Amino acid sequence: MRTLTKDTANKVGEEVTLMGWVHNRRDHGKLIFIDLRDRWGIVQVVFNPKNQKLLEQANQLRSEWVVQISGLVKERPAGMQNPELPTGKIELEVTLLTVLSRADDLPIPIMEEGTNEAELQKRLDWRWIDLRNPKRTLIFKVWTTMEQAFREYWTGNGYIEIHSPKLMSTPSESGAELFEVQYFDRKAFLAQSPQFYKQMAMAAGFEKVFEVGPVFRAEPSFTARHATEFTGYDVEISFIESHQDVIIEEEKTLIYVLQKIKDEFGDKVHEVFGKELEIPATPFPQVTMKEAKEILKKKGITGERSGDLSPEEERSLSEYIKEKEGHEFVFVTEYPVRVRPFYHMRLESNPELTKSFDLLWNGVEITTGAQREHRYEKLISQAEEKGLHIEPIQFYLNFFKYGCPPHGGFGHGPARMLMKILNLGNIREVTYLYRGVNRLEP
Amino acid sequence: MRTLTKDTANKVGEEVTLMGWVHNRRDHGKLIFIDLRDRWGIVQVVFNPKNQKLLEQANQLRSEWVVQISGLVKERPAGMQNPELPTGKIELEVTLLTVLSRADDLPIPIMEEGTNEAELQKRLDWRWIDLRNPKRTLIFKVWTTMEQAFREYWTGNGYIEIHSPKLMSTPSESGAELFEVQYFDRKAFLAQSPQFYKQMAMAAGFEKVFEVGPVFRAEPSFTARHATEFTGYDVEISFIESHQDVIIEEEKTLIYVLQKIKDEFGDKVHEVFGKELEIPATPFPQVTMKEAKEILKKKGITGERSGDLSPEEERSLSEYIKEKEGHEFVFVTEYPVRVRPFYHMRLESNPELTKSFDLLWNGVEITTGAQREHRYEKLISQAEEKGLHIEPIQFYLNFFKYGCPPHGGFGHGPARMLMKILNLGNIREVTYLYRGVNRLEP
C-alpha cells in the first residue's frame, strides 16, 4: 500500500512505503540522504549507516531514478528540521529499497527556468522532463480545476454538451488557414472552430450548449499567443435579445471559474507565480470599437488596421481601462462588418457595425463573441456581400430554413486565460504539447 | 423575461412569456390551439376567439416556426385536462405573439423513428431537425451527465487533465488506418489515440491523468459501432502493480458514473428507452482469453481469429456470463502478444500473453486497457519483435529513458457505453454528427 509524500508528516512512528523519483542524493560519507519526490511533495530519506547492503544500494541511485522505498517515519533531529516544508520535520529511515526504473543522465536540468528562445526550444524538445518541475505540474493542476469549473457552471445551468466533428467537408470559417486531410478518396478539412455546428445545435433546439475540444489553424504565426492546434471552449445560447445577453452570461461564467481557482489555488499561485488573483467586479467595463480608437488616438497610438485592434492597441487599451476603472477586463463591442465573419448580426441602428465583442484581459484577447444572424435571407445576402460562394456553405445556411431561434455565443481560449491567471508570457508554457509551424514533436 | 415551459404549471394566474417552437397547430374553427415546445416540455396555447388580430396571426403559424408568446397561465376546463403531462392541467391564453423565425415545410417528420437504412440516412442528412425529437435531445442530456460524472470521479481523485495534440509527426498506433494531413510543407497524421502522450504524462510524473477528445480512425468500416471520428475517454495511472489495479480503478469509475446517471435519468431512460439501468456488483466477472475460447468452444462458436473475439463471440460470451453470473459486464484478460500492440506488458508467467484486458458490456467492447511496458530495453525488443522500425517511434521510446514509473491505463468509448445505457443499436444515434467513410456532412 503506497503512501503519498504529503501524507507522511502525520505518520511518525509508522512503517510506510513511498514511491517516486530520486530528486537528489546527498552523500555525507557514511550517511546518505535522498530527497524522494512524488506529485504531492518531497520527503527526505535517510539510510542507516549500519545497514551496509542498503548503503550500497543507495550509492548506486542517481537523479530521476524511480524507486519504491519502505521505512519508518521518524522526527528529524532538532537541528535538522526545516519548518518551511510541509514534510520538513520528518524523514524516512529506509528498511527496503526497490528500483522501479533507472534513468540516463538528464538532457536538461528540471529545476531551472530557461525562457530564452534556445532554452525554451530545448525544454519543449524534452517536454516530459521539463514538466517534472513542480512549478510546471502546477500549471496543469490549475488547468484541470479551471476546466472543471467552467463545466460545473455549464452543467449546473442547463447546458448540453456537444462533441462536434473536427473533420469537415468545407471550411468552417474563412477558408484561409485551413489544414487539408486526405479522407479516403476525397479531401476533408480540420475544423477551425465548432462555429457552424454549435449553431446547428441552436437549430436543433438544444438552446444552450458548450463544447471543449481542439481547434486547428494553419496560421504561419510565431507569436507567444498563437498555436496551430489549441483547446477551445465554445458556448452558444438561444433566445437572446442581443450580444449583451451573451456578455452577461460570460461574466457570470468567468466569475464562477475565477472564484473556484482562487479558492483552490490562490495562495499557491501567488507563492509560485507571484500573481494575486482578483475576482473582477461586474459588469465588466465596455467600450465600442469607435470609443476604443478614440481613446487610443488620444494616447497617440494608431494600429495598422482600422476597426480592429493590434496587439499593441490591445495592451494600451487595457492599461487605460485599468488606470481609469481599476478593472483588468474590458469588452470591446460593435466591430465593423468588414473585420467580422458574415454570420455576425448587424446593429439595427448602424448596419456597418456588428453585434459582436472581444474580451480583453490585461491586454490579451481571450474571447470573441457575437449575436449570430439567424434569418435565412439576411444570412444569404451577408454572405454574398462578403463575396462568399453560397454552394459550399449551403449545408450551413440550411440550418436556418426550418425555424431557428435568435442566438449568440462565444469562443474562449483557455490557454490564454491561464497565461493571465498565472502571469505567464508564452502560450507554450501552458500547453501540454505545443504545436506550431516548426513543431510537431514530440 | 422568459419562462420555461416546465415552470408554467405553478404559475396559474400569472402573465408569462414563453419562447419555443410551434410543435403543432389545431384549428377548431373559431378556436385555435398550438402546442408550444421548448427544450423542457410542451405547453398548450389557446387563442381567444374574441381577438381577431391574434387569430389572424395564429392562422399563419406553421409547424416549427419559432415564436415568442406572452399570455395568462390558466387552468384548463375540467374535461380538457391531461393529467399525464406535467403541464397538462394548464394552458396559456395569448395576449401577444411575435414570430422569431419562420420555417419551410419540414423535409423529415421529427416525431417518427425511422431506423431502416434509408430512413436513418435521411435523418442524418437533416440531423438538426432529427435532434428536435425530445427522445433524441434526451440522448445528449444523458451524455452531458455521463461525461461530467466521469470527470467528477477523476477530478475528485487527484487526476490531472491533459489535452494532447491530435496532430502528430508519426502514427500513434499501428501505422494503418491513418488520416494524413498536409502540414505546411510536410506531412502530419491525425492521432488514432492519445496513447503515446498519456504515457508521456507518466514519464512527466503526473501520476494520474485523463483526457477527453476526438480520435480518428481511417477504417473503411460500415458497422453499427464504428466511426472514423469519435470521442474517446483516456486514463493512465502510475505506480500500479499490474493491470488488475487498472481494472479496479475502472470499476470504481463506472459504478460512480452509472449511479449518477441512474439518479438523474433512471426513470426517464426507462420510460423513453425501456431500459432499466442496474448498478453492477463489483468485482466484475473476469475470464482470460483462453477461458473465453473454451467457453465459446463448448457453445459451438468459433471465431475467425485465435486469441481475439469476433463480434459474435463477444455477444455469446456476454450471454454466457449473464446467464451464469447474472452480470452484464465481463473483463476478458491476458490477450496474446500477437493481437496486442508492442507496448503492452507481458505476463511474467507466460511471455506469450499480455497484461491486458477488454471490457465487454452486454456483448460490446467498451474499453481496452493494459499495463504498459515501462522498461526501455524491453520496449525496444518488443517493438523489434513486432517488426516495427525504431526510428519513427524513438521520440516515444525516449519517454522511458529518464526514469518512468510502472503504469497502465485504458481507453474507453463513451458512445458505445451510451448505446448500452439507452439500449440503442447504432452508434450513429448517440453521436452528435456521425462521421463515416461516406459521411462528412452536414
> What pLDDT does B171 receive?
74
pLDDT tens sequence across B233-247:
999 999 999 999 999
Task: Name the residue type at position B18.
Answer: L
Report the C-alpha gap between B201 and A131 in whole angstroms.
Answer: 8
> What pLDDT does B170 receive?
85
Backbone φ/ψ region at A391: left (φ over 0), alpha (ψ -120 to 50), beta: alpha
Q: How far is CA A421 from CA A39, A249, A261, A277, B66, in A?
A: 22, 20, 9, 7, 41
The C-alpha angle with vertex B77 and arms to B75 and B82, in degrees rounded to 5, equals 80
Cβ(B157)–Cβ(B208) below 8 Å = yes
> Cell digits for B232?
474517446
Neighbours of B351 (CB within 10 A): 10
Is the pLDDT at B306 greater than 90? The verdict is: no
Neighbours of B134 (CB within 10 A): 18
Size of the A and B interface in Cβ pairs below 8 Å: 252
Residues 258-287 of A with CB under 8 A from B: none
Phi, psi of A380 (to 5 degrees): -55, -45
Report the C-alpha gap between B403 and A101 in whole angstroms.
Answer: 5
Q: What is the pLDDT along chain A (442 residues), one digit of tens a residue?
A: 899 999 999 999 999 999 999 999 998 877 899 999 999 999 999 998 899 999 999 999 999 999 999 999 999 988 888 888 889 899 999 999 999 999 999 988 887 777 788 899 999 999 999 999 999 999 999 999 999 999 999 999 999 999 999 999 987 666 678 999 999 999 999 999 999 999 999 999 999 999 999 999 999 988 888 999 999 999 999 999 999 999 999 999 999 999 999 999 999 999 999 999 999 999 999 999 999 999 999 999 987 788 999 999 999 999 999 999 999 999 999 999 999 999 999 999 999 999 999 999 999 999 999 999 999 999 999 999 999 999 989 999 999 999 999 999 999 999 999 999 999 999 999 999 999 999 999 9
Report the C-alpha gap between B12 and A327 in whole angstroms.
Answer: 44
Residues pairing with B67 in the sheet: B20, B99
Set of chain B residues whose Cβ sits within 8 Å of the Cβ of A159: 144
pLDDT tens sequence across B211-234:
999 999 999 988 888 999 999 999
Name the E strands within B242-391.
Answer: 286-288, 329-333, 356-361, 364-372
> What pLDDT does A174 receive?
61
Q: Which residue has the cell 524522494?
A: A36
The pLDDT confidence band at residue B114, using thresholds 50, 70 and 90, is confident
Query: What sign does the CA torsion over B207, B212, B218, B219 have?
Result: positive
Among A230, A41, A312, A261, which residue's Cα sits nearest to residue A153? A261
Q: How far is CA A348 from CA A205, A242, A286, in A?
A: 26, 11, 19
Set of chain A residues whose Cβ sits within 8 Å of the Cβ of B144: 155, 159-161
Please give the model's pTM, rounded to 2 decimal places: 0.96
Neighbours of A154 (CB within 10 A): 23
A381 Cβ contact list (under 8 Å, min separation 6) = none
Q: Tell me, rounded to whole angstroms, the distance of Cα A399 from its chain centroid.
A: 31
Among B355, B430, B389, B435, which residue's Cα sits nearest to residue B147? B430
pLDDT tens sequence across B174-215:
667 899 999 999 999 999 999 999 999 999 999 999 999 999
Domains of chain A: 5-101 (2.40.50.140), 128-422 (3.30.930.10)
Return the DSSP state at A348: S
Sheet-wide strand order for A229-238: A160-161, A208-216, A229-238, A407-412, A364-372, A356-361, A329-333, A286-288
pLDDT tens sequence across A356-411:
999 999 999 999 999 999 999 999 999 999 999 999 899 999 999 999 999 999 99
Report the C-alpha gap between B226 and B437 in whole angstroms.
Answer: 10
Cβ(B245)–Cβ(B410) below 8 Å = no
**B343 in contact with A, Cβ within 8 Å:** no
Name the minimum distance, in Å, from the CA of A261 to any CA of chain B. 14
A79 Cβ contact list (under 8 Å, min separation 6) = none
> Cell digits for A239?
433566445
Query: What sign does the CA torsion over B101, B105, B106, B107 have?
Result: negative
Phi, psi of A316 (to 5 degrees): -65, -40
In this structure, what is the dihedral angle of CA atoms B409, B415, B421, B423, given to the nearest 10 degrees? -140
pLDDT tens sequence across B280-294:
999 999 999 999 999
Residues 162-191 of B with CB under 8 A from A: 162-169, 179-184, 186, 188, 190
Neighbours of B75 (CB within 10 A): 12
Name the minimum distance, in Å, from the CA of A440 to any CA of chain B. 6
The C-alpha angle with vertex B257 and arms to B251 and B261, in degrees rounded to 5, equals 140
Cβ(A44)–Cβ(A33) below 8 Å = yes
Question: How would you classify the pairing of strands A15-28 and A167-168?
Answer: unpaired
Residues pairing with B287 in the sheet: B332
> What pLDDT does B28 receive?
85
> Cell digits for A110?
528540471
Is the pLDDT at B256 greater than 80? The verdict is: yes
> What pLDDT does B217 receive?
95
Q: Which residue has the cell 494575486?
A: A276
Cβ(A126)–Cβ(B201) below 8 Å = no
The pLDDT confidence band at residue B173, using thresholds 50, 70 and 90, is low
Share of chain B above pLDDT 90, in %: 86
Assign 3-class secondary structure to B135-179.
HHHHHHHHHHHHHHHHHHHHHHCCCEECCCCCEECCCCCCCCCCC
Among B288, B343, B296, B346, which residue's Cα sits nearest to residue B320? B296
Among B317, B322, B286, B324, which residue's Cα sits nearest to residue B299? B317
The C-alpha angle with vertex A359 and arms to A380 and A225, in degrees rounded to 5, equals 100
**Mutate which: A141, A435, A440, vs B, most B CBs within 10 A:** A440
Residues 383-442 of B with CB under 8 A from A: 395-396, 398-406, 432-433, 435, 437, 440-442
Among B104, B102, B74, B101, which residue's Cα sits nearest to residue B89? B74
Phi, psi of B385 (to 5 degrees): -60, -30
Name the minimum distance, in Å, from the CA of B14 to any CA of chain A. 21
Mean per-residue pLDDT, B74-102: 92
